[in-house]
Structure 1
Amino acid sequence: MNKIERIRELVEELNKAAIAYYKYDSPIMTDKQYDDLYDELTSLEKETGYILTGSPTQKVQGDVVDNLEKVDHKYPMLSSNKTKDLDVVRIFISDKDAIQSWKLDGLTVVVEYRNGELYKAVTRGNGTVGEDVTHTFKHCVNLPVRLRKPVDITFRGECVIPWDTFERINFELLEPYSHPRNLAAGTLRQLDANIAIERKLEYYVFDIVDGFDSGNLIGDYAYASDLDMPVVEHCAVRDLGEDFNKFNPENFRLPVDGLIYRYDDTEYGKTLGTTSHHPLNMLALKWQDQLYETTLTDIEWNTSKTGLINPVAIFEPVDLDGAITTRATLHNVSYIEDLELGIGDSIMVYRANMVIPKVHENLTKSNTWELPDKCPCCGGEVKIHNENGSKTLHCCNDGCQAKLLSRLTHYVSKNALNIDGFSEATIEKFMELGWLSSLSDIYTLQDHKNEMKVLDGFGNKSTEKLLTAIEKSKTTTLGRYLYGLSIPLIGRTASKSIGKYFKGDYSKFIEALENAFDFSQLEDFGDTMNMNIHRWYVKYSNVEDAYIPKLLEFDTPKFDSIVDNSSDLSGKVFVVTGSLEHYSNREDLVAVIESLGGKVSGSVSAKTSYLINNDSLSNSSKNKKAKEMDVPIIMEKEFLHLIGN
């Protein structure tokens, strides 16, 4: 694999990890794994000068869940630059006065007080937009009822659950949480604040964002403490001697994953500025990883929706920081070759913070592993693909049931056609019955209605619900439809770009394909993606194999499109709330607004042009705020009239 290809692979892996970590609170790799990959990416970008726009070194990672009100951060919440090398920290401190504090491992929250009273608590989200969690946050057990002074001030800090509380809660659960961070994040996002009361969250300030500036960090921390706000444990340092050693994570009651160093002179720190990813006045020291030895017992191969056959290491159970683990991804064939694996080899694995592990090293290096000569699912022919030095194994059988199951599951998923109630287990059952052999067969399931009703777990109500959801999915956006087709490298962002460019017009999209349109001119597209979408069209537009969905021949969905292409929403800001009738979900409506040049915000403000709410008489907070600020409240039908539909 060459360096450019490695950069692309690293960006994809790191972004997937960031989404899993920030949006779903379900990490797919350890902090150590992420940091190692991030360091490798930074080094390669510096060496090659090749930096992708989506690189995590160029933007703050992360994303925002949809079930809580979104709030724009007044000041961007950047990440911290990280190192594991003490010498790098010494160089950073140099001859400056610095403050050392714990890097708490919880959920970052910005807290605004007005006149000394808690006004709003917002999660970090993606750094620019977070979620309003005031209703749960206010139950943190170490927060004052009100500040000691009636001041307007904004703090930034970490919401955590102590280890002893975490262990107590886990003791009462059949399926315990893996780490206090997951529990803290999940608790803050609960709609029922009573759950937060039971779980005893704690909050610690590490920054004053607005409302006070003493000129130095120690003074800011002292002021926050004088207001009765809990402040992260800290001390002044000029070197990494005694002060460094007294911060022992093994004896600390709160979950931590490193130390933070910031210049005490906050004015000097501000003059240093920031990158798009992190401020230059601070540095995080991350803990070194812990490796564990075990024995490789097998290599399992699993076929995905694209035909890629993914290898997984199976090893003797090993306790990785409190979690018994037996599996780890092996990524691809080249990765296995580099490790020189063989069944029975002694391997080193790691899993900091109790998340999914990775094989770090092979001590035996027997290199006796065997490449499968057929697909583990269908028994069909397999081939090695070697692009830019990275070898991957692929199933060549388009009728492979594993590929079909994955593609069907993806097609009906929330971000694609969003067919509610169509689980993977249901799809698998219908495949076994011979009802599903392609994507188009989904739209013929009405023919099996009577048979479906008598299946275990079904009945009249479940059957009608599923068939109604399938019928509803026929009205969708072009972006969702394309995303559901599993076109290689054409993900949600690229699919949205296509839908936006062609204004939801499916026929114009097909016409463009037939006329060799260059998709690389679209936003978020590249040459390889352009090549892939044309290859996909050639392969699937005229196929005879019954196992391959004739995607361009069956009764395609009726796409919501923009009828009046002259409609222009540039400069207009919309807020959407409540249930929808015309659009299948909020995301579809947002896509239409953005395609016409408008913007969508999560909260009503002086900049809001319209609040879209089908219940104009609702007593919701957004309705009240819109009325207070004389923001027009319009229904969906009024919005459709506005854009000419």
Structure 2
Amino acid sequence: MDKIKRMKELIHDLNRASDSYYGSGTTLMSDAEFDSKLLELKQLEEEANTVFPNSPVNRVGGAVLKSLIKVKHETPMLSLDKCHSVEEIKKFAAGHDIVASIKLDGISCRLIYQDGELIGAESRGNGTEGNDILQHVKQFMNVPLRINKKGKYVIDGEALIKLDDFEEINKNGEYKNSRNLTAGTLSSLDTSVVKDRKLSWYAWEVVEEVDPILAISNNDYEAHDSFYFRLLEAGKLGFSIVPCEVLGLKYYQNEELQCKIDNFISLAAEKHLPQDGVVFKFEDVEYGKSLGSTEHHNRNGIAFKVKNDSVETTLKDIEFTMGKTGILTPTAVFEPVETEGSTVERASLHNVSVMRELMPRPFRGQRIGVFKANLIIPQLRWAEEFISDGFEKDMEKSFIHIPDKCPVCGEPTKIIKENDSEVLWCTNPECKGKLLGKLTHAVSRNTLNIDGLSEATIQKFISLGWLNSIQDIYYLTKYEKQMKNLDGFGSKSVSKLFDSIEKSRNTTLDRFLYALSIPLVGKTASKVIAEAEDYQFESFVRDMTHPGAKFFSHIPGIGDSIINSLDEYFNRECSNVWELGKEFTFETPKKVSLKTSSGKDLTGQTFVVTGSLKHFENRDALKEKIESLGGKVSGSISKKVTALINNDVNSTSSKNTKAKSLGVKIMSEDEFLEYIS
């Protein structure tokens, strides 16, 4: 087996066993087996001369920096020239072999190694000068701290947040896109947020290498320093590399080249990689260098930008909706338009900063351009500029202003800074809108899973004074008589609601924690914390009381930001959490066996998996089960997909929406298990 692959397997097994033992006292492997695997990992690290940040042999913790230091690049990190047609690509190649790769849409970073040790990491910045981000990069789970390489080794790549991870982080719509969040994270002085936000890094060019890696050209059969083989070697050294392929373009028809481009875009979607087109660079490194550069871009490559044309429509209004933390998110409401195969009439403007950048002075009737980012998420590309003509008073009623009063409670709002962006926030700590957001989240399918409590119903119950906390849900039976007299309610619907509430009393610790809306503690963090406590509620409360959230600091993915948030929340809410916990019976999730391939034959069937899981340990485990039965797993929805597996079957996520539009079945995990039994 490949040494790097074996190292990654050992790191996964050892970390899982360590987390379980120190978190809950559960033994997953004997001391002898643990010591044997740890010794094997240590020996492999020495043999391969490679170390990963999450290795239990040498753990790396996050650091808090005083400031970001500017560094000048030894070799400029320039952009590439752009093109929009296959004819331009072929003209650029001029008969030479080309390496095609996905143009990743993140933040370009350079890593510098000396005699195998990672000694520097720099963001692109303005191309000649960037930030020293070494401490940030040390938190990337897929960047080796040591490699088996002598001399100086410089490699460029892209820091990014994968789209499925971004969708989970951004469920309240507060971030514009994964690229902006990546940039903000790499600008943070607290480097532990890198792990919390699941940043990863993909290599796309080896800039400096002691020895050339030779290949034979398709054109003249002379050996040359190979751009492609350099990247392949980087993969063997432990780096994640961008999907790429060598193309002899002089043998390609335009239609074939366009097909290759389409395949790269589809592959990016399948791997959840944010993309901005396809990059083409000369396979012969020295030939590429000989072409030189302009002040703006290198001439050794060109970037094909995928057309993402916007469609024009008319702005009707901007609505401000409240999330569970009190942030009011602006959403553009416009005349319905068709784009990328579906009808859209709303698009998030994310925050005040984005809204002001797109439309400094919005007004009803304004012409706007709408497109789908990464062909999925509705966004605004442009807005008609308001030009004063002396009749502004006549338009006063049409202008849309940022509200100075909360649309929910009527108390003052305030524009505050959050993650380097301006956001609108309700100043009222008792705002019912915050309560509405928290309760709506608490009863959702991924948390307590209570049917019959829609957002509108919760809003009604709050206004009647029946709901002021999650715990109040379990005492709604006090209002049974009044409830049956409400419009839209009857004996049958009330009975169903109470049955669903009663059923929700059987839950798991991870769902309970996620239901609390603790800042920064999402589904993933809730799950790993619950696993560390063996899903025991009393054990969790005891450890949070003493020694506090630092008890979880050994768990990969639980950084200082999450620890501080947990401590702040429990210092304030510990007694309430304890009382709420008394309403539940906490269960330990059943783990589905993967050792057997018994079940329905899934040959010829394709599935897409999204959202959190309750029976399988993770998505990879479910993928393994599907493949063991002969099926395939894709990362994107198409008409060829048999079913989308999502425990939140009523979600309005992009995958659910697309599945419904294409008539693809959406099934829960339980329904899938029943399907294959």
Q: TM-score, normalised by structure 2?
A: 0.46
TM-score (norm 1): 0.48
